[in-house]
Amino acid sequence: MKYKRKLAELSHKILKIIVKQECPGKVGLALTPEEENLRSKLENMHALISAPQQFKGRLSELLSQMRMQWNQYALTGGSEYTIDKDCEEEMKSFLSMQQKAMEVLTDTATKDLKALQIIFDGMPELVRG
């Protein structure tokens, strides 16, 4: 994650440098059709995002709801997460099943190690004859 952020920062710096190099050369020239098309698309996207009933408004509403919930938790001193009893029981049974499976695996590995030790100890006799 750290490297992705660093790559994004460096890419942004390179983009700024390229813009500074290209802008003075383009001063006074008309936009190409491709640039004009890109400009209109960007303006449309900006208008969509900035519209109050669209994403920006919804995002602001979600952020305010999250802040209200966070403040409610902070004021009541309640825990951030809750779990219902059925879910808790299901998790307990699953974890106990996993623990039993780990015990069986441990026992099997111990038995296999003992068998391997017996084979290892008997190898010199087999080699001799």
Nearest-5° Cα angle at 83, 80 to 86:
180
Q: What is the DSSP letter of 27?
A: T
| pLDDT of the residue at 122 | 85
| Residue 53 resides in a domain | yes
Domain count for the chain = 2
| pLDDT of the residue at 58 | 77
Tokens coding 70 = 């966070």
| pLDDT of the residue at 105 | 92
| Residue 11 resides in a domain | no
Rounded to two decimals, the pTM is: 0.36
Q: What is the CA radius of gyration of the chain?
A: 33
| Residue 4 resides in a domain | no
| Residue 8 resides in a domain | no
* In a shared domain, residues 87 and 116: yes
If you search the block for the tokens 């983009």, which residue do you land on? Answer: 15
Full domain range(s) for residue 71: 33-79
| Residue 19 resides in a domain | no
pLDDT tens across the length of the chain (129 residues): 888 888 989 988 998 898 888 877 777 788 888 988 999 998 988 887 777 666 767 778 888 999 988 888 777 766 666 788 888 899 999 899 999 999 999 999 999 999 998 888 888 887 786
| Residue 102 resides in a domain | yes
Give the DSSP per-residue string, 61-127. Answer: HHHHHHHHHHHHHHHHT--S----HHHHHHHHHHHHHHHHHHHHHHHHHHHHHHHHHHHHHHHHHHH
* In a shared domain, residues 91 and 128: yes
| pLDDT of the residue at 126 | 78
